Amino acid sequence: MFDLLKKTMLTGIGIASMTKDKIEELGKKISAESKLNEEEGKKMVNDLLKQSEKAREDLENQVQKLVKKSLVKLDIPILEDFNRLEKRIKKLEKLRAKTGKE
Q: Could you list the mean pLDDT of each consecutive 10-residue stretch along the chain, which spans 102 residues? A: 52 60 73 74 77 78 81 85 95 89 63
The ranges assigned to domains in the chain are 2-99
Burial 71-84 (b: 16+ CB within 10 A, else e): eeeeeeeeeeeeee
Label residue 90 exposed, middle or buried (CB < 10 Å: 0-12, 13-18, 19+). exposed
pTM of the model: 0.51
